[in-house]
Structure 1
Amino acid sequence: MSRGMDEGDRAYRNLIGGEWVEAAEGGTFDSRNPADTSDAVGRFAASTEADAVAAIEAAQRAFLSWRESPPTSRAEILYRAAGLLEESLDALSVELTREEGKVLASARQEVRRTAQTLRYYASEGLNIAGETLPSDDATTRVYTRKEPLGVVSVITPWNFPLSIPARKIAPALAAGNAVVFKPASETPLMGVRLAEALHRAGLPAGALNLVTGSASRVGEPLLRHPAVQAVTFTGSTAVGEHIHRAARLSTRVQLELGGKNPLLVLEDADLELAADLAVKGGLELTGQACTGTSRIIVVDAVHDAFAAKLLGKVRRLRVGNGLAEGTEIGPLANESQLRSVLSYVAIGKDEGAELLFGGGRLTGEPYDAGYFVQPAVFAQVRPGMRIAREEIFGPVLAILRAKDFRDALEMANASEYGLSASICTSDPERMEAFARYAEAGVVKINRPTTGNAYNAPFGGMKLSSTATYREAGREAMAFYTRSKTVYHGFRGIKDGGMAF
């Protein structure tokens, strides 16, 4: 079977050892449209530890031959998979919007980005190489080899259910590793679609395995099975800390976690641009991005003027089903996210922040069947407030007032997170100072905090990352390979001449 679905009832299976199979215990769960919960996207395998172990063992067997496959063969598979995704661009984009909730234009952009990522790593996989080193011993050649790790567990979130898995799976496969992929339970269909594309592109049986279901039921083997050589995870800091503690000592771990990302607005900023950056970075994806703008730190001189511009833009935003024409903000991903956002709005008001706009659940048609909330804008926010310190992961913007650039920078850095940070200014010296002193792994100048190039390193500082291996770009390949040093002795120079 080349696809993971029963055509009759939209039931999707796991991919283990090249076969689409039901969960070992036969359990299933439904994925539903967060804009209309009566719309069932599909039914998926509710996997258990037994399924995870079967997937790991299949990957372990496949690794022995996959690691020996020519780099060009691996590249060709990734290229073909990219083409298959693009051929299904329209259908995939609609499915992505139905399953995750983001507006259709953003879904289309994500599908395209996923194909670009596969092609990028197809090329990068051809550049994996060691080096030859000088040796004091004329009879010994010293060199290094870059080798794949083995079985890699890939655990991904729901907010970018195609592009984030692709930027983990593609470099892992390009380097010759075998993969066990556990997508988020909110977006299993996108995991199935990515696995289908790679499977149909000619990936050998077991090189990529997919298990869907609850992390609490499948997670232990993915972290602690002796065959698992590496774990890469993107998600909340709390879950990342658990993974970091639970993984075996010899298991390589890569974590990309939460953020509380600031946008600084200085007195010389283009306020129209600044307000656009705040809306795009903080609200475009319903605030559900780890790099999303959460804190807007504005100097006194332009605070009121900026707040007025921002409010004008936020009031005009259209919230609705991502498939509807003109929608700019979709629903939150699930009921838990909705409850969390509403609770933070209440916390902000209780702490004394001024709610300038929004923050309530939207009701009536077409909102009653989905998880819709009106974007919230708070002013008079102090750095110690929870809405200024904790990751909300929703459409809530907090405006903080700063005396000057130095005060704003100190405020921006006074966070346990350090993922993305942006500044809006026309002063080149302040741009350079911000790039140098902002405590964030991603720094933007007159750009939104969201958005990252697939060929550039991505990762955070502090509690936003393990700060070891970066995702994306050429640096990502380092996580999926290890160096082996070889000392090769041979008959060298003898009696003044070469020995033959």
Structure 2
Amino acid sequence: MTRVLENYIGGAWSRSSGTTLLDVKNPATGEVLAQVPLSTAGDVDTAVKAARAAFPAWRATPPAVRARYLFKLREVLDAHREEIAAICTSEHGKTLSESRNDFGRGIENVEHAAGIPTLMMGQNLEDVATAIDCQTIRQPLGVFAAITPFNFPPMVPLWFLPYAIATGNTFVLKPSEQVPLTQRRIFELIQSIGLPPGVLNLVNGGKDVVNGLCTHPDVAGVSFVGSSSVALHVYRTAAEHGKRVQALGGAKNFIVVLPDANRERAIANVAESIYGCSGQRCLAGSMIVGVGEAYEWVREALHEAARAIVLGDGSKPGVTMGPVVSAAAKDRILSCIEQGTREGARLTLDGRGATVEGCPNGNWIGPSIFEDVQPGMSVATEEIFGPVACLMRAQSLDEAIAAANRSRYGNAASVYTTSGKAARQFHNQIEAGMVGVNIGVAAPMAFFPFGGQKASFYGDTKAHGPTAIDFYTERKVVITRWF
């Protein structure tokens, strides 16, 4: 009998009141791994009430004590790295190596948040006027929620969860209904560390849960990662209901390669940026701009690197790229490729007919490359979120930067060069929130902020790093005079 997943509310597992169940499938084999319920607004209300009830005592728990729970969490997560990586690969499709890295970056955020006694400190100044002192203190706000995507099942929830509870708030997570198994296991591990009931809660579901969290009067703030259209919806809806919001959206990331770049290292990085995790990540390179004479060698070397990729079940040794997450994702990516060919881009490497021996039901798309991509084409402007590279020519760095800045997105951008002058111009002028210099995936470490610009981010305070502490706390100013 297929297992039906439960919600985690008030320190215990409970059945959802929702009657609709979705299959959770292995994208490489088509095997049904479990069923996930689409919970209701009533389930959301139950979880938020549990979190609200737990808040006063958790807020009063000293930060050093809260940090000790994170130390425990870090240790239990670290002890189960291989298990979590295997679950991630089974439900997402990425390779085991990619799943390990995914989870490792999540654990890094737990480590960083464990420094909360220092991170949450305020400021003070004596004698701002005669015999008057002034200080700022940070205080938690209440119940926070996060709505997370399919592409990094272990990592993205850990961008938010550790900081929310470290700062003294309580928390409700809605994981992606496409990949709920990783968080199910992580919450089982969380249950083992002895957190007070209601501090952490999990509600499975779809849009009803999203809207329930965005409108619930007892939710103080909402974090979201996903497409820009949904990010904008979450931002508007939650903000209209008086909540703090950080909504991380989609991307169309440009990688600019100059003629003086280190060829071997540049191409290895660029190929990994495009095709890692089958292109299903918001930091994936998707527009590759060869400047001047660099275009030809980038073109040739990228084709060679793409043809060397081994497509298959990510759990098997030797595989370097897995399937896309679902049949629906495959159909959408194929539609994007068809649209690109209709608009005149040349598909010089076609992954549409890819198959994998022994896995006839997998969601396979091989590495693909478009050439002669022009500004205005859909493949140059719209997020494909799959293993598809788009090559564009530019005659100068100025032209390349201008092409990138025309995009409505501004998540990440990278440049490959040995010129400090060119690198400085690029990171000074490019309109992107995260910039790589000879780095193909410009992913900041946990102690730096994560987030884009323009249609890639809606809100004021970005994820993790010091901005997480700002998001989850209110600064209060106290002015004191004693007679």
Determine if the TM-score, normalized by the shorter chain, exceeds 0.5. yes
One of 206, 211, 228 as aligned partner of 2:203: 211
Q: For residues 444 and 323 of structure 2, what CA distance do their matches in structure 1 show?
A: 23
Partner in structure 1 of residue 181 of structure 2: 189
Q: How does 1:86-235 map to 2 (within 5 A)?
A: 86-133=78-125, 137-138=129-130, 140-214=132-206, 216-235=207-226
- Name the CA shift for 1:297/1:223 in 2 (closer, same or farther; >3 Å): same
SS in 1 for 2:293: helix
> For 1:63, which of 55, 60, 67 is the aligned residue?
55
Query: In the alignment, which residue of structure 1 is the partner of 2:301?
Result: 309
Residue equivalent to 2:9:
16
The within-5 A match list for 1:16-415 is 16-25=9-18, 27-37=20-30, 39-133=31-125, 137-138=129-130, 140-214=132-206, 216-247=207-238, 248-363=240-355, 365-415=357-407
Mapped contact 2:370–2:389 kept (Cα < 8 A)? yes
**CA displacement, residues 182-220 of structure 1 (integer Å, 9 cap, x when unaligned):** 000011111212222222112110011100122x22122
Root-mean-square deviation (Å): 1.6
**Greater displacement, 130-139 / 470-479:** 130-139
CA distance in 2, matches of 1:191, 1:408: 41
Contact 1:320 1:366 (8 Å CA) reproduced: no
Secondary structure at 1:157's aligned position in 2?
coil
Q: Which has the larger radius of gyration?
A: 1
AA in 1 matched with 2:220: Q
Deviations 1:149-174 (A, max 9, x none): 11101110011111110011111111
Write the distance in 1 (CA, Å) between the matches of 2:442 and 2:330. Answer: 21
Read off the aligned partner of 1:23 and give its amino acid letter.
S
Cα distance in 2 for partners of 1:165, 1:75 equals 18
Closer/same/farther in 2, CA of residues 202 and 301 from structure 1, 3 Å limit: same
Structure 1 residues not aligned, in runs of 5+ = 1-7, 492-500
Contact 1:179–1:208 under 8 Å retained in 2: yes
* Residue correspondence of structure 1 range 474-493 to structure 2 within 5 A: 474-491=466-483
Cα distance, 1:364–1:474 mapped onto 2, change above 3 Å: closer
How far apart, CA to CA, are the structure 2 residues paired with 1:43 and 1:145? 45
| Whole-angstrom distance in 2 between the partners of 1:377 and 1:41 | 33
Match for 2:27: what amino acid?
Answer: P
Native 8 Å contact 1:33 1:40 kept in 2: yes
Deviation of residue 364 (structure 1)?
5.8
What's the offset of the Cα at 1:27?
Answer: 4.8
Superposed CA deviations along residues 393-449 of structure 1, whole A, max 9, x for unmatched, are 111100000011111111121111111100111111101111111111111011113
TM-score relative to the length of structure 2: 0.96
Aligned CA distance change for structure 1 residues 154 and 467 (closer, same or farther; 3 Å): closer
- SS state of the match for residue 241, structure 1? helix
SS in 1 for 2:47: helix
Local SS of the residue matching 2:279: coil
CA contact (8 A) 1:72 1:126 kept: no
Structure 1 residue 145 displacement after superposition: 1.6
For residue 389 of structure 1, what is the amino acid of its counterpart? Answer: T
1:137 Cα shift? 4.8
Post-superposition CA distance 1:260-318 (Å, at most 9, x none): 00110111112222221221111011000001101001113121222011101101111
1:286 partner SS: helix
Q: Confirm or deny: 8 A CA contact 2:36 2:177 kept in the other structure.
A: no
User: Does 1:468 pair with 2:460?
Assistant: yes
Counterpart contact for 2:64–2:116, Cα < 8 Å: no
Give, in angstroms, the shift of residue 78 of structure 1. 1.1
CA shift, 1:368, in A, is 1.9
Superposition deviation, residue 29 in structure 1: 3.1
- Is this contact kept in 2: 1:29–1:43, CA < 8 A? yes
CA distance in 1, matches of 2:345, 2:390: 9
Q: Partners in 2 of 1:290 and 1:229 — Cα distance?
A: 26
- 2:451 corresponds in structure 1 to 459
Amino acid at match of 1:115: I
Distance 1:489 1:221, change over 3 A: farther
Say how many residue pairs are matched: 482
Tell me the secondary structure at the aligned position of residue 172 of structure 2: strand
- TM-superposed CA distance for 1:129, in Å, is 1.8
Question: Which range moved further: 70-79 or 54-63?
Answer: 70-79
Read off the aligned partner of 2:216 and give its amino acid letter. Answer: H
| Alignment check: 8 A CA contact 2:451 2:462 kept | yes
C-alpha displacement of 1:450: 4.7
1:249 to partner: Cα distance: 4.3
Q: Distance in 1 between matches of 2:76 and 2:459?
A: 34
Give % identity. Answer: 33
SS in 1 for 2:115: helix
The Cα offsets for residues 77-112 of structure 1, whole Å up to 9 and x where unpaired, read as: 111111111211222111110011110111112222
Alpha-carbon distance change, 300 to 137 in structure 1, aligned in 2, over 3 angstroms = closer
Indicate if the aligned counterparts of 2:18 and 2:37 stay in contact, CA closer than 8 A. no
For 1:80 and 1:90, the matched residues in 2 are separated by: 18
